[in-house]
Amino acid sequence: MASHYSYGSRETLIIAIILDALLMLTYITLIAVVIAGIVAWMITASATVDVLATLTIGNAWHTVTCLMIDSMTQRYATGPGQIFYTQTSSAQTPTGSIVIKYNRHVDTNDG
Protein backbone atom coordinates (compact mmCIF):
# COMPACT_ATOMS: atom_id res chain seq x y z
CA MET A 1 0.00 0.00 0.00
CA ALA A 2 1.49 3.32 -1.02
CA SER A 3 1.83 6.04 1.59
CA HIS A 4 -0.01 9.28 1.02
CA TYR A 5 2.88 11.19 2.61
CA SER A 6 5.66 12.50 0.42
CA TYR A 7 9.12 13.00 1.89
CA GLY A 8 11.60 15.38 0.27
CA SER A 9 14.71 13.39 1.16
CA ARG A 10 15.86 10.04 2.44
CA GLU A 11 16.88 11.49 5.83
CA THR A 12 13.39 12.89 6.41
CA LEU A 13 11.90 9.47 5.68
CA ILE A 14 14.27 7.76 8.15
CA ILE A 15 13.48 10.31 10.87
CA ALA A 16 9.74 9.88 10.25
CA ILE A 17 10.08 6.07 10.53
CA ILE A 18 12.04 6.38 13.80
CA LEU A 19 9.49 8.80 15.27
CA ASP A 20 6.64 6.52 14.19
CA ALA A 21 8.37 3.56 15.83
CA LEU A 22 8.87 5.47 19.10
CA LEU A 23 5.25 6.59 19.06
CA MET A 24 4.11 3.01 18.45
CA LEU A 25 6.31 1.72 21.28
CA THR A 26 4.82 4.26 23.66
CA TYR A 27 1.25 3.31 22.85
CA ILE A 28 1.96 -0.43 22.57
CA THR A 29 3.43 -0.40 26.10
CA LEU A 30 0.38 1.41 27.46
CA ILE A 31 -2.01 -0.89 25.60
CA ALA A 32 -0.06 -3.97 26.76
CA VAL A 33 -0.23 -2.83 30.39
CA VAL A 34 -3.97 -2.19 30.14
CA ILE A 35 -4.61 -5.57 28.49
CA ALA A 36 -2.42 -7.36 31.06
CA GLY A 37 -4.34 -5.64 33.86
CA ILE A 38 -7.70 -6.65 32.38
CA VAL A 39 -6.57 -10.26 31.92
CA ALA A 40 -5.20 -10.42 35.48
CA TRP A 41 -8.47 -8.99 36.84
CA MET A 42 -10.49 -11.52 34.83
CA ILE A 43 -8.39 -14.43 36.11
CA THR A 44 -8.70 -13.19 39.70
CA ALA A 45 -12.45 -12.62 39.37
CA SER A 46 -12.90 -16.05 37.80
CA ALA A 47 -10.93 -17.74 40.58
CA THR A 48 -12.90 -15.84 43.22
CA VAL A 49 -16.22 -16.82 41.63
CA ASP A 50 -15.09 -20.46 41.45
CA VAL A 51 -14.10 -20.49 45.12
CA LEU A 52 -17.35 -18.82 46.19
CA ALA A 53 -19.39 -21.21 44.07
CA THR A 54 -17.56 -24.18 45.57
CA LEU A 55 -18.11 -22.92 49.12
CA THR A 56 -21.78 -22.16 48.46
CA ILE A 57 -22.46 -25.55 46.88
CA GLY A 58 -20.52 -27.28 49.67
CA ASN A 59 -22.48 -25.49 52.39
CA ALA A 60 -25.79 -26.23 50.68
CA TRP A 61 -24.89 -29.91 50.33
CA HIS A 62 -23.84 -30.06 53.99
CA THR A 63 -27.13 -28.51 55.06
CA VAL A 64 -29.18 -30.90 52.91
CA THR A 65 -27.36 -33.98 54.20
CA CYS A 66 -27.74 -32.82 57.81
CA LEU A 67 -31.47 -32.30 57.32
CA MET A 68 -31.82 -35.69 55.64
CA ILE A 69 -29.99 -37.46 58.47
CA ASP A 70 -32.02 -35.56 61.06
CA SER A 71 -35.35 -36.43 59.43
CA MET A 72 -34.42 -40.10 59.07
CA THR A 73 -33.32 -40.24 62.70
CA GLN A 74 -36.53 -38.66 63.94
CA ARG A 75 -38.63 -41.00 61.81
CA TYR A 76 -37.00 -44.37 62.36
CA ALA A 77 -35.12 -44.13 65.67
CA THR A 78 -37.63 -42.67 68.11
CA GLY A 79 -38.43 -43.92 71.57
CA PRO A 80 -36.36 -46.15 73.86
CA GLY A 81 -33.14 -47.30 72.25
CA GLN A 82 -32.73 -44.17 70.17
CA ILE A 83 -29.10 -43.79 69.26
CA PHE A 84 -28.96 -40.03 69.48
CA TYR A 85 -31.33 -37.14 69.89
CA THR A 86 -31.61 -33.93 67.94
CA GLN A 87 -32.23 -30.97 70.20
CA THR A 88 -35.37 -29.30 68.88
CA SER A 89 -36.50 -27.39 71.96
CA SER A 90 -35.26 -26.00 75.24
CA ALA A 91 -36.30 -29.21 77.05
CA GLN A 92 -33.47 -31.32 78.38
CA THR A 93 -32.28 -34.10 76.10
CA PRO A 94 -32.20 -37.57 77.70
CA THR A 95 -28.74 -38.63 78.78
CA GLY A 96 -26.92 -41.72 77.60
CA SER A 97 -27.64 -43.58 80.84
CA ILE A 98 -31.39 -43.20 80.36
CA VAL A 99 -31.11 -44.46 76.80
CA ILE A 100 -29.05 -47.46 77.94
CA LYS A 101 -31.49 -48.15 80.80
CA TYR A 102 -34.39 -48.69 78.40
CA ASN A 103 -32.35 -50.44 75.74
CA ARG A 104 -32.13 -53.88 77.37
CA HIS A 105 -31.00 -56.94 75.50
CA VAL A 106 -33.52 -59.76 75.65
CA ASP A 107 -31.91 -63.18 75.69
CA THR A 108 -34.27 -65.96 74.64
CA ASN A 109 -32.15 -68.58 76.42
CA ASP A 110 -32.94 -67.17 79.85
CA GLY A 111 -34.81 -69.66 82.02
- Position 93 scores a pLDDT of 52
Cβ atoms of 73 and 84 closer than 8 Å: yes
The predicted-structure confidence for 16-33, as pLDDT tens digits, reads as follows 888 888 888 888 888 888
- What residue segments make up the domains of the chain, in order of their start? 10-79
- 98 in helix, strand or coil? helix
How far is residue 26's CA from residue 46's CA, in Å, rounded to a whole number?
30
Cβ atoms of 96 and 85 closer than 8 Å: no
The predicted-structure confidence for 37-91, as pLDDT tens digits, reads as follows 888 888 777 777 666 666 666 677 777 777 666 666 666 555 555 555 555 555 5
